Chains A and B, each alone.
Chain A
Amino acid sequence: MMSANEGLVHVADLTKHYGEVHAVDGISFSVARASVFTLLGPNGAGKTTTLEILEGIRNPDSGKIEFFGHRISHVDRKEKARMGVLLQEGNFEPYLKVKEVLRLFASFFANPLPVEKILDMIALQEKQHAYVKTLSGGQKQRLALGAALINNPDLVFLDEPTTGLDPQARRNIWSIVTNLKTQDKGIILTTHYMEEAEALSDHVCIMDHGKIIAEGSPQELSAQLGQETIIEFTAGEATDDSISLLESGCKAARMDGDQVTVETEDLISTMEHLLAWAKKRDIELKNMVVRQPNLEDVFLSLTGRRIRD
């Protein structure tokens, strides 16, 4: 048995190529117990391929992988017995009942948790005799999480766990993930949602084109942008030329459609400049928000693109 401080996963110089495409290009990271480790990045950044290598779905081209203190060439039954995986696009047999699905997955492991305990954990007791095909999206995702946790895993993979879910269902999943962390489990998360990464993560790796371009806690990453404040508003009347004039009173200003983003280190003077700029050009500032930088802004400052572009 490993100690509580021992790393669950160490990855060094991991690569995976598909022809000319470098899906994963020499990345390295570690995942500790009782922590949420998040891979963040746009589609095609290499997050899912990285996860699939660690889940045993794909083999890497090269690199060093250590699971639970042991170096391995590929993930096998022994490692799988200690990990739980929630896939991005997995399904269940539509004509199985909730309890039957959990019983089936329990049979794959030597020492599974009681099915009733998992039903409690994912709050699906009332649906235990319902067919999978009758479940809502959120219920299906909770069932998937239950199947991933049936073996009481040390390491949990959550690939886009809340994509497509309504805010309430998303909060339910967050609550379960937070609870897992308190149970000393290591969690590897991928997500598109900045607020999800910020709310859940202890450590974030931002990936782009198969590489890790920045990493740290959400606070550390946001701090890379200094003491910046972000001002956002919509202004249909603004033009690229007028935006360039706005830049003179702030650190940076960008226009994306009718959405304008202004970065500043001196909020009061920038606000004065902004209001004068709008009044002079008769531009109406709608939906104005003043906020601190988030991970999206970090990605934007690093790549010049938004994560969801």
Chain B
Amino acid sequence: MKAILLVTLERLTTAFRERVTLFWFIIFPMFLLVMLTLIFGNIGKQGQMSFSVALANMETSSGGPADFSALVESIFQEVAKPTEEEEEPLFSLAQPAAGEDKDAFIAREKEAVRLGNLSALIVIGNGFNQDLMGNITGQDSATGSQSTITVYQNQGNTGSEMATSIIAQIISRIDREILAKTGRFDEQKAVPIETDWIGSAEGEVPYVDFLLPGIILMGFFLTGLFGVPESILFARDRQILRRYWVTPLTVPRYIAGFSLGHVALCIVQFFFLYLLGRFAFGASLRFDRIEPVAFLFLSSLTFLAFGFLIASIAKTANAGMAIANILNMPMMFLGGLFFPISGLPPVLKAIVFANPLTYLAEGLRVSLGVETGALSTLLTIVVPLFWIALCLLIASRRLKWDVGR
């Protein structure tokens, strides 16, 4: 037992004394947490999410009491007003100045959307009032088509897509209100929708609470994918391990000590990141329950197994690092560590669903109350366990613990 503990200590002390290891496994995840929180931290906080939006009302006929275009316009203007708490409004709204050519305004703002300087452009078409009235009364509309509001967005721009999504929700709500007011929609008969927030007293999940579990998993991931094969292959190729094998220390006892050292390293990583998230950015996550601790442990073991797998495939430490680099990017960025992974193309979704990080990230976030979770709890446990078994099976057959054997 003493030998196992000393091997554990050796793994831990050498990791912390080597500057490169220290940077990648401790400093880099902390740096990433700071940067991402500073850049994206405002998104998701109530009243502090703000998008720049332009609105052009092209309706030329005054609808009198039924001037729906003016109603829509006023609602967006209302949304763009600062709240009493002096928080930044959801939208900053740009509209054509008095006397300005509206077509020129639309052309200019379209270009701004294209360049990413504007989140979205809303255009209320001419004839909107009459079309809508026709729809409501069942008479022929002025244009013979559905009354439309066109929203121009920049596809692929996250801010633009989020703004468009919010605009669509607002318009949908306006539509529903108009139908309700004109008696075409019975609010009482509508399917009730209730919203129940989980994980934050304010009913919103701060970005740091979403991000922190992802960064912790990233730290574990890097330690397993890079640290484990690098340590094993370096020690094997330089015949450090051979010195051990001529003593009574056996390979299983060495693996036990090495694995304990890996888990201990993950624990240290966790505390550094947790304390940074909590005291620098006010993260409110509670890790003092069995479920998140179990998921952290499962994550640590999964990436340890991946490390053994890479060590068993690679012939040298350099080859091990190359393989780890190949796996690193697709696994890390298609595992939902930093951003939600909904809306990905089908090809990428295949990687997402094969990726154990997807399940570990969701399982950890659900256990912390950050997400409600699209996957079953069983799946978030079984898939990583499957990967652990597969990696260890391959490693047990292929991994050479001594040079030339």
Contacts and interface: CB of A to CB of B under 8 A. Distances in A.
Contacts of B244: 108
B23 interface: no
Contact of A56 (B18, B238, B245): B245
A87 B18 contact: no
A109 B238 contact: no
A61 to B, nearest CB: 15
B60 to A, nearest CB: 77
A154 interface: no
Contact of A91 (B14, B18, B238, B247): B238
B240 A92 contact: yes
B253 to A, nearest CB: 9
Nearest to B244: A108
Contact of A108 (B14, B18, B239, B248): B248
Contact of B13 (A100, A147, A157): A100
Q: In which size bucket is the chain B interface?
A: 20 to 34
B255 interface: no
A93 B248 contact: no
A104 B246 contact: no
Nearest to B16: A95
A77 interface: yes
A93 B10 contact: yes
A175 interface: no
Interface stretch (B1-9, B170-178, B376-384): B1-9
B235 A85 contact: no
A87 B248 contact: no
Contacts of B240: 90-93
Max chain B C-beta neighbours (<10 A), residue from A100, A105, A108, A147 = A108
Nearest to A144: B243
A47 to B, nearest CB: 16
B243 A92 contact: yes
Contacts of A151: 247
Given A96-B10, A96-B13, A104-B10, A85 B246 contact: yes
Contact of A57 (B3, B14, B246): B246
A2 B309 CA distance: 46
Contact of A109 (B13, B245, B248): B248
A90 B241 CA distance: 8
A103 interface: yes
Nearest to B246: A85
Given A87-B239, A90-B239, A96 B14 contact: yes
Interface string A146-160: 010001000001000
A109 B239 CA distance: 20
A103 B235 contact: no
A207 B13 CA distance: 43
A282 interface: no
Given A80-B246, A90-B243, A95 B3 contact: no
A147 B243 contact: yes
Nearest to B240: A91
Contacts of B402: 57
A57 B248 contact: no
A59 to B, nearest CB: 10
A81 interface: yes
B10 A108 contact: no
B327 interface: no
A55 interface: yes
Contact of B242 (A57, A83, A93, A95): A57
A90 B238 CA distance: 7
A272 interface: no
B148 interface: no
A73 interface: no
Contacts of B245: 56-57
Contacts of A166: none
A86 to B, nearest CB: 9
Contacts of B5: 107
Contacts of B6: 103-104, 107
A172 to B, nearest CB: 20
B247 A109 contact: yes
B146 interface: no
Max chain B C-beta neighbours (<10 A), residue from A56, A81, A89, A107 = A107
Contacts of A104: 6-7, 10
Given A87-B243, A105-B247, A109-B248, A95 B18 contact: yes
B248 A80 contact: yes
A90 B248 contact: no
A83 B247 CA distance: 8
Contacts of B168: none
A162 B275 CA distance: 51
Interface of A: 55-58, 77, 80-81, 83, 85, 87, 89-93, 95-96, 100, 103-105, 107-109, 131, 144, 147, 151, 157
Closest 10 pairs between A and B when the two form their complex, measured CB to CB = A85-B246, A95-B17, A107-B6, A108-B247, A77-B248, A90-B243, A91-B238, A108-B249, A95-B14, A107-B3
26 contacts: A55-B246, A56-B246, A57-B246, A57-B402, A80-B246, A83-B246, A85-B247, A87-B242, A87-B246, A90-B239, A90-B240, A90-B243, A91-B239, A92-B240, A93-B10, A93-B235, A95-B17, A104-B7, A104-B10, A105-B247, A107-B2, A108-B244, A108-B247, A147-B243, A151-B247, A157-B246
